Amino acid sequence: AALVDHPLLEGLNDPQRAAVTHAGAPLLVVAGAGSGKTRVLTRRIAWLINERKAHPGSILAITFTNKAAAEMKERVQELVGNRARIMWVSTFHSSCVRILRKEIDRVGFKSSFSIYDAADSKRLMTLVLRDLELDPKRYQPNAVLNWVSDQKNELRDPEDVTKEARNSFEEAYAKAYTHYQRRLRDANALDFDDLIMTTVHLLQAFPDVRENYRRRFRHVLVDEYQDTNHAQYSLIQQLCGQSFEQEDAAGERVEPSELMVVGDADQSIYAFRGADIRNILDFEQDFPDATTILLEQNYRSTQTILSAANAVIGNNRSRKPKRLWTDAGEGARIVGYVSDDEHDEARFVSQEIDTLVDDAGVRPADVAVFYRTNAQSRVFEEVFIRTGQPYKVVGGVRFYERKEVRDALAYLRVLVNTADEISLRRVLNTPKRGIGDRAEACIAALAERDRTTFWEALTRAAEAPGLATRSLKNIEAFVAIIQELQSMVEADERPDVILESVLERSGYLAELEASDDPQDDTRVENLAELVAVAREFAEDPQPGPSADPAEVEAGTVAVGLGDFLERVALVADADQIPDSPDGDDSGVVTLMTLHTAKGLEFPVVFLTGLEDGVFPHQRSLGDQPELEEERRLAYVGLTRAQQRLYVSRALVRSAWGAPSHNPASRFLDELPVDLVDWRRTAAEQTRWGRADHAGGSTRLGAPTEAGRRNFSSAALRADAAAKAKPAREIPSLAPGDRVLHDSFGMGTVVAVDGVAEKSVASIDFGSDGVKRLLLRYAPVEKL
Ligand code: ATP
Ligand code: MG
């Protein structure tokens, strides 16, 4: 009863108080979303410092992101004051770096070790595979690296995997892993996964180091425990484990540290990075004297939102059922919206935000828009830029700042302006084509000597003193590709067609597609988005500020590549505007992927792109465990909302610029019907309203699939571009003619514009749609 009045226990229910004040045995708090797990963890830290007189330096708190760590630290400081400053609140990786900087000399590294990021690791693995003379087609750097990462997450070192290799394939992987580790060591470098594995190995191998940290960290607290992998789990065991001798080197008894972990198995969304849900399910087995506290009251959301989330997650078979209730009242019904396409969806979101701000006292900062993949942010960004609504994209680079988008645009800039040396140098060896720094320097020297442009020098590379024969050949090939693409620009080919050819002919796309790195999948998706942007522009050109008014009047606005680049430059420029120059964020809407949203909450949430093949993601559709992970992600998304929740989907979504008709997400079907107020249903939509997909149950090809298929046709088209026909071979076509195309098959000519070299035919290929093809390149034959 004395506890009731303590200020640090204010605003906590009984089980929450029990968790805050618990002392001794390991403590597991398992509870659904919004039940106050993070609040309890934070309060407990304050309690330990204030009431149990724990030294702040003896507390190690682990969160999932640096942002969460910063927030938690700030909150504890508010509660107990500045003393909390020296406390360790950080992610697993940062904690390990801090330990390693002090201790790593024990395992033969210098404390100044470098940390390799993904790009560095890839570069190194590429070298290793080359040295080992492994067939680059069978052994892709990213595939090997992913495998190595899995081994490290399981704490298997090269010796272990070498012993366990059962076939020549596994032997090769083990060998690559061995050499990769050796070269890292030679470079005094650790990759990301090494940080944790090395720390665990170090603590295992050196009892004195382990004891030192166990004496130091008397309290270890872990948030989002459901997303820990085996290596992270072992780290916690090393620091708090009871399976170890309880005496230090001097024979003194060391009390085990107090451990508290909080988590929710229903929110485990990182299995693809080796997170193991069993860590939470088996906690009681691993720590036999553990205490478990369940929290069942949700303080975040209305009953409507909670019922919706509970209904969806209830469809997962591999889970323990749990109760979660709220007394926040029914609240508003969920609003559902079926849009024509992704633009319509973004407009709906934007208009709805305006209405909420005007009529419901909502601040833009109260609003979050979630989507499944990074590339989906682009359409929202464009609408917000147009309407002047400030926004921020959390946890992702803004669309036009992404490396792959900038690379692609650099190619286009070179095509319209070879004097753009920055862009030219950016793409010269991107993707890698054997034109190294040395070769680049030789060309630069030639340009300097002859007072000419870098491009001019490239075209005369043979005269460059000191240039290696191999480099010369590679440069000549590069120049040929650029010149060939330039001829498409001269022929006034559409920007989207040119862009597709660029991605194809440059080898840029092939390199990404060959990779097994999930990040490269994202890059391919972003490039698909950029192609979609170009296609839209070509089909509905909006005159840029410098357009000739007379042309605008006459409806003959140019739609060339240069116009497209101008338009993009302006959008991209607007994109650079900082979120809030005056530091006031109240006017800023938040955009983020569902993965980034974990642990956060917002009064208003828009959950967008609820389409099978988008969310759940295409990859998961045929795979029960992956589908369940997607459903947990949906649960995370739904439970971020405090008061209002919107769910939306688009009937048609463009990927690679090719519209695909998407059926409703199965997660929408799992929402209880009486909870959702459909503002607009599939049956009401107009533009694409055809009975066969209005119901949302017909699968007409999921976006990725359709996009890829369409893109490979584009690839074929571009391939044909490589063999441009001499003028006399250009087929002369007239509307009504039947033609045969290498990849689209039979088609009927609808219209022909331009003459000779520049003639462009619009050809109807039935289910593949109407294509505009530059006849000089198109592999078409008149029948
Ligand atoms: P998630 O699983 O999404 O990470 P969580 O369990 O960590 O959620 P918190 O973020 O800690 O939940 O809490 C959700 C919201 O409920 C927060 O706004 C928090 O301040 C509030 N809250 C938690 N406990 C109480 C309580 N006893 N009384 C009032 N509000 C509470
Ligand atoms: Mg939390």
Q: Is residue 716 part of a domain?
A: no
Taking the centre of ligand 2 as the mean of its atom positions, its distance from the CA of residue 83, in whole angstroms, is: 24
- Residue 280: pLDDT over 60: yes
Q: Is residue 595 part of a domain?
A: yes
Taking the centre of ligand 1 as the mean of its atom positions, its distance from the CA of residue 604, in whole angstroms, is: 16
Backbone phi and psi for residue 372, each to the nearest 5 degrees, phi listed first: -80, -40
**Domain shared by 537 and 423, yes or no:** yes
Taking the centre of ligand 1 as the mean of its atom positions, its distance from the CA of residue 639, in whole angstroms, is: 11
The question of whether 640 is a catalytic residue gets the answer: yes
Reported as a pLDDT band with limits 50, 70 and 90, residue 385 is: confident
Q: Is residue 715 part of a domain?
A: no
The question of whether 37 is a catalytic residue gets the answer: yes
The active-site residue out of 39, 378, 632, 640 is 640
Please tell me the distance from the alpha carbon of residue 777 to that of residue 533, in angstroms, as a whole number: 23
Report which residue type is found at 287: F
For ion ligand 2, residues whose CB falls within 5 Å: 37-38, 599
Q: What is the best residue among 12, 38, 39 to mutate for testing ligand 1's pocket, by most ligand atoms within 8 Å of CB? A: 39
32 CA: nearest ligand 1 atom: 2
**Domain shared by 345 and 256, yes or no:** no
Helical (H) or strand (E) element with 658: strand 658-661
Write the CATH number for 489: 1.10.486.10
**Domain shared by 280 and 318, yes or no:** no
Average the pLDDT over 239-262 and give the result.
72
Please tell me the distance from the alpha carbon of residue 649 to that of residue 339, in angstroms, as a whole number: 6
Among the ranges given (199-203, 251-255, 374-378), the one the predictor scored with the smallest mean pLDDT: 251-255
CA 264 vs. chain centroid, Å, equals 23
31 CA: nearest ligand 1 atom: 6
Residues with CB under 6 A from ligand 1: 11-13, 16, 31, 33-39, 264, 267, 299-300, 599, 601, 639
The question of whether 224 is a catalytic residue gets the answer: yes
**Domain shared by 150 and 202, yes or no:** no
**Domain shared by 93 and 122, yes or no:** no
Taking the centre of ligand 1 as the mean of its atom positions, its distance from the CA of residue 50, in whole angstroms, is: 22
Instruction: Name the residue with tokens 């590379």.
Output: 461
Average the pLDDT over 387-412 and give the result.
83
The active-site residue out of 38, 226, 232, 237 is 38
Ligand closest in space to the Cα of 324: 1
Nearest to 646 by CA among 355, 286, 407, 450: 355
Cβ contact 47:23 at 8 Å:
no
Dihedral sign, CA of 152, 156, 160, 166? Answer: negative
Domain count for the chain: 5
Nearest CA to ligand 1 atom 15: 300
**Domain shared by 151 and 228, yes or no:** no
Q: Is residue 573 part of a domain?
A: no
Q: What is the pLDDT of residues 566-609, one digit of tens each?
A: 777 666 544 433 334 345 678 899 999 998 888 999 999 999 99
- Residue 713: pLDDT over 50: no
Instruction: Name the residue with tokens 């406390």.
Output: 87
550 has binding-site annotation: no
Please tell me the distance from the alpha carbon of residue 633 to that of residue 598, in angstroms, as a whole number: 9
639 CA: nearest ligand 1 atom: 3
The percentage of the chain sitting over the pLDDT mark of 70, rounded to a whole number, equals 83
pTM above 0.95, yes or no: no
**Domain shared by 205 and 318, yes or no:** no
Nearest CA to ligand 1 atom 19: 36
The side-by-side arrangement of strands in the sheet containing 27-31 is 88-90, 59-62, 219-222, 258-263, 27-31, 291-295
Nearest CA to ligand 1 atom 18: 300
**Domain shared by 767 and 679, yes or no:** no
**Domain shared by 445 and 535, yes or no:** yes
Of 297, 323, 357, the domain-final residue: 297
Q: Is residue 111 part of a domain?
A: no
Average the pLDDT over 289-318 and give the result.
95
Higher pLDDT pick, 75 / 658: 75
Q: Is residue 681 part of a domain?
A: yes
Taking the centre of ligand 2 as the mean of its atom positions, its distance from the CA of residue 665, in whole angstroms, is: 27
Q: Is residue 712 part of a domain?
A: no
Of 297, 331, 348, the domain-final residue: 297
Q: What is the pLDDT of residues 7-36, one digit of tens each?
A: 999 999 999 999 999 999 999 999 999 999
Nearest CA to ligand 1 atom 8: 34
ipTM (interface pTM): 0.99
Nearest CA to ligand 1 atom 4: 599
Q: What is the DSSP string of 501-555?
A: HHHHHTSHHHHHHH---HHHHHHHHHHHHHHHHHHHHHHSPPPPTTS-HHHHHHT
The active-site residue out of 16, 17, 21, 37 is 37
**Domain shared by 554 and 666, yes or no:** no
Please tell me the distance from the alpha carbon of residue 522 to that of residue 512, in angstroms, as a whole number: 9
Ligand closest in space to the Cα of 300: 1
Helical (H) or strand (E) element with 753: strand 745-753
- Residue 630: pLDDT over 90: yes
Reported as a pLDDT band with limits 50, 70 and 90, residue 776 is: low
Write the CATH number for 123: 1.10.10.160
The question of whether 273 is a catalytic residue gets the answer: no
**By residue range, what is the domain housing residue 155?**
116-187
CA dihedral angle for residue 242, residue 83, residue 40, residue 364, rounded to 10 degrees: -140
691 has binding-site annotation: no
- Residue 629: pLDDT over 90: yes
Taking the centre of ligand 2 as the mean of its atom positions, its distance from the CA of residue 39, in whole angstroms, is: 7
Q: Is residue 578 part of a domain?
A: no
The question of whether 38 is a catalytic residue gets the answer: yes
Write the CATH number for 736: 2.40.10.170
Q: What is the pLDDT of residues 65-116, one digit of tens each?
A: 777 888 899 999 999 998 888 899 988 988 898 899 889 999 998 877 776 6
Mean residue pLDDT across the chain: 84
Q: What is the best residue among 38, 72, 366 to mutate for testing ligand 1's pocket, by most ligand atoms within 8 Å of CB? A: 38
Taking the centre of ligand 2 as the mean of its atom positions, its distance from the CA of residue 392, in whole angstroms, is: 22
- Residue 427: pLDDT over 80: yes
Cβ contact 356:592 at 8 Å:
no
Nearest to 531 by CA among 698, 397, 710: 710
Report which residue type is found at 29: V
**Domain shared by 508 and 529, yes or no:** yes
Of 227, 262, 297, the domain-final residue: 297
Ligand closest in space to the Cα of 68: 2
CA dihedral angle for residue 611, residue 616, residue 618, residue 620, rounded to 10 degrees: -160
Ligand closest in space to the Cα of 29: 1
Among the ranges given (552-566, 634-648, 704-718), the one the predictor scored with the smallest mean pLDDT: 704-718
Taking the centre of ligand 1 as the mean of its atom positions, its distance from the CA of residue 43, in whole angstroms, is: 11
771 has binding-site annotation: no
Backbone phi and psi for residue 191, each to the nearest 5 degrees, phi listed first: -90, 180
Instruction: Name the residue with tokens 């948030």.
Output: 223
Write the CATH number for 615: 3.40.50.300
Q: What is the best residue among 300, 596, 601 to mutate for testing ligand 1's pocket, by most ligand atoms within 8 Å of CB? A: 300
- Residue 466: pLDDT over 90: yes
Q: What is the pLDDT of residues 223-247, one digit of tens each?
A: 999 999 999 999 999 998 654 455 5
Average the pLDDT over 437-458 and give the result.
92
Ligand closest in space to the Cα of 597: 1
The active-site residue out of 191, 194, 223, 504 is 223
**Domain shared by 365 and 413, yes or no:** no
Q: What is the pLDDT of residues 187-198, one digit of tens each?
A: 778 888 999 999
33 has binding-site annotation: yes
707 has binding-site annotation: no
Cβ contact 534:135 at 8 Å:
no
Q: What is the pLDDT of residues 364-380, one digit of tens each?
A: 999 999 999 988 988 99
Instruction: Name the residue with tokens 């990927």.
Output: 655
600 CA: nearest ligand 1 atom: 3
Nearest CA to ligand 1 atom 21: 299
587 has binding-site annotation: no
73 has binding-site annotation: no
